[in-house]
């Protein structure tokens, strides 16, 4: 009796979800969160021959493939009415507690490895048969989950999901909302979802210390963010994080003395995790980083400072960010293709490289308030998912986006890096 009950329980909570290699199969589904207001968006691959088309899409609180329980259906959609394979729902995702004990303030719950679902599932059907089903999930340990597949890989040959202006997630007032913020989740939450590249811009305000900036606008103090990174590295020691100090916009003369102070603080707060920098030829595989228990790569975008600090062996040379300065999606796509084609595979002082996959608002749009970053991000994110899933993912290294929950780059990266053989078990 007891045994039967437990077997049943296990069947209900341990299941796998089926995703085809590289996720680009007709009818495959994924959930995103709107950059504009945190409502759930449902997405499915609609480009397929007619008879293969899914005939129903269902959003539910529980897995439609799970047995013996009410899946708590939230929404049923006829895909033929949405030829783009996209619909923004009226279901608010907001900023919920992170599952699996991964909430930042959850000091009691143990942080269980592996992906963990929010209570939102999307499924596509054909003649009442499930084609694909997936939940919206955090991926706090995706490198560790797939350690056998990734151990012998070089980090610069992986597709790494990143955020642009990673610290720009707070702020007040409409102007900041529209033009300053690039993210709506804090650093901890970004890492727990699976982001592995952080792009920081640093400002110095005298006795008030160092801040995260967007150009000249200061957003928040930087040291509390280091604490979020530190806490994550302790909880997930096999996840490789690239922390890129990419700009030093304030004061405009960011002197050597200020750099020295900053480097000292970084070393104090994060030095224990920092991997020794390697220049030139790639030599470090993931298992080597893991052996040395160093999973943080700190890149510093100021060559003279890096060169002047020979004893700070943890400072990596500047990481190259590729910017399109594109005002339209076709321009951005052309730019990404061009970068991938022309980059070449020459040894570089820093082996990592980042595609900055966002549109730049035109000054005139800022002036008239006809565009804002959330709206731009929403439009861009849908395309980014397709481009990297279907075309560029295998040839790219870091892809940094705005409002990353609006695209599927984390899942695409895991799938591509594991060549479709990822651990798909969700607990």
Ligand X SMILES: *[C@@H]1O[C@H](CO)[C@@H](O)[C@H](O)[C@H]1NC(C)=O
Residue given tokens 């986006």 in the structure block: 401
Q: Is 274 near ligand X (CB under 6 A)?
A: no
Residue (131 or 355) nearer to ligand X, CB: 131
Secondary structure class of 171 (helix, strand, coil): coil
Q: Is 126 near ligand X (CB under 6 A)?
A: yes
Question: DSSP characters for 133-175?
Answer: EEEEEE-TTHHHHTHHHHTTSBGGGS-EEEETTTT-----HHH
Q: Is 128 near ligand X (CB under 6 A)?
A: no
Q: How far is the CB of 58 from ligand X (least distance, A)?
A: 15
Alpha carbon distance 327, 380 (integer Å): 11
Q: Is 273 near ligand X (CB under 6 A)?
A: yes
Alpha carbon distance 69, 11 (integer Å): 12
Residue (207 or 311) nearer to ligand X, CB: 311
- Which position among 8, 9, 21, 52 is part of the footprint of ligand X (CB under 6 A)? 52
Secondary structure class of 231 (helix, strand, coil): helix
Find the part of the chain contacting ligand X (CB under 6 A) among 85-93, 123-131, 141-149, 203-211.
Answer: 123-131
- Which position among 17, 19, 23, 27 is part of the footprint of ligand X (CB under 6 A)? 27
Residue (52 or 427) nearer to ligand X, CB: 52
Cβ neighbours of residue 357 closer than 8 Å, sequence gap 6 or more: 164, 332, 336, 380, 384, 399, 400, 401
Residue (90 or 129) nearer to ligand X, CB: 129
Q: Is 272 near ligand X (CB under 6 A)?
A: yes
Contact (CB, 8 A) for 20 and 52: no
Could you tell me the two tokens for 387? 């481009």
Burial environment of residue 160 by CB neighbours within 10 A (0 to 12, 13 to 18, 19 or more): buried
| Alpha carbon 282 to chain centroid, angstroms | 24
Count of residues interacting with ligand X (CB under 6 A): 14
Q: Is 239 near ligand X (CB under 6 A)?
A: no
Alpha carbon distance 59, 40 (integer Å): 10
- Which position among 17, 23, 26, 116 is part of the footprint of ligand X (CB under 6 A)? 26
CA atoms within 13 A on the CB side of 347: 6
Q: How much helix, strand and coil, in percent to the nearest 5, is found in the chain?
A: 35, 25, 40
Find the part of the chain contacting ligand X (CB under 6 A) among 28-36, 124-132, 238-246, 328-336.
Answer: 124-132
Within a 10 A sphere around the Cβ of 263, how many other Cβ atoms? 22
- Which position among 131, 275, 326, 377 is part of the footprint of ligand X (CB under 6 A)? 131
Touching ligand X, residues 55-94 (CB under 6 A)? none
Q: How far is the CB of 426 from ligand X (least distance, A)?
A: 23
Find the part of the chain contacting ligand X (CB under 6 A) among 63-71, 125-133, 191-199, 242-250.
Answer: 125-133
Site string for ligand X, 299-318 (x = CB under 6 A): ------------xx------
Question: Under the rule (CB under 6 A), what is the footprint of ligand X?
Answer: 26-27, 51-52, 126-127, 131, 234, 237, 272-273, 293, 311-312
């Amino acid at each position: 009796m007891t045994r039967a009950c437990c077997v049943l329980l296990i069947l209900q909570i341990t299941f796998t979800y089926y995703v085809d290699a590289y996720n680009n199969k007709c009818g495959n589904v994924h959930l995103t969160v709107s950059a504009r207001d945190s409502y759930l968006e449902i997405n499915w691959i609609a480009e397929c021959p007619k008879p293969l088309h899914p005939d129903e899409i269902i959003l539910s609180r529980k897995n439609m493939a799970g047995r013996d329980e009410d899946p708590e259906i939230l929404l049923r959609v006829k895909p033929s009415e949405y030829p783009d394979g996209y619909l923004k729902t009226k279901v608010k995702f907001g900023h919920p507690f992170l599952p699996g004990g991964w909430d930042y303030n959850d000091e009691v719950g143990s942080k269980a490895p592996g992906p963990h679902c929010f209570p939102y599932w999307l499924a596509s059907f054909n003649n009442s048969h499930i084609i694909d089903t997936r939940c919206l999930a955090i991926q706090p340990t995706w490198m560790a989950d797939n350690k056998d597949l990734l151990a012998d890989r070089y980090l610069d040959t992986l597709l790494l999901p990143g955020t642009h202006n990673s610290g720009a997630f707070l702020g007040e007032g409409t102007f900041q909302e529209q033009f300053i913020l690039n993210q709506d989740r804090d650093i901890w939450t970004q890492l727990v979802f699976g982001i592995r590249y952080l792009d920081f811009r640093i400002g110095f305000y005298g006795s008030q210390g160092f801040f995260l900036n967007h150009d000249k606008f200061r957003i928040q103090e930087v040291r509390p963010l280091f604490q979020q990174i530190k806490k994550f590295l302790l909880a997930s020691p096999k996840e490789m994080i690239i922390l890129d100090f990419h700009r030093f916009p304030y004061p405009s003369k960011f002197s050597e003395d200020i750099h020295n102070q900053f480097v000292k603080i970084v070393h104090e707060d994060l030095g224990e995790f920092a991997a020794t920098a390697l220049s030139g030829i790639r030599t470090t595989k993931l298992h080597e980083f893991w052996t040395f228990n160093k999973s943080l790569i700190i890149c510093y975008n100021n060559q003279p400072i890096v060169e002047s600090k020979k004893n700070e062996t943890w400072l990596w040379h500047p990481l190259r960010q590729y910017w399109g300065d594109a005002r339209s999606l076709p321009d951005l796509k052309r730019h990404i293709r061009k970068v991938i084609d022309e980059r070449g595979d020459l040894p570089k002082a820093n082996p990592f490289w980042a595609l900055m996959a966002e549109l730049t608002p035109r000054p005139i749009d800022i002036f008239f308030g006809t565009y804002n970053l959330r709206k731009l991000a929403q439009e861009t994110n849908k395309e980014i998912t397709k481009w990297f899933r279907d075309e560029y993912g295998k040839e790219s290294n870091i892809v940094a986006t705005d409002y990353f929950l609006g695209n599927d780059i984390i899942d695409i990266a895991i799938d591509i890096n594991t060549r479709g053989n990822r651990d798909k078990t969700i607990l």
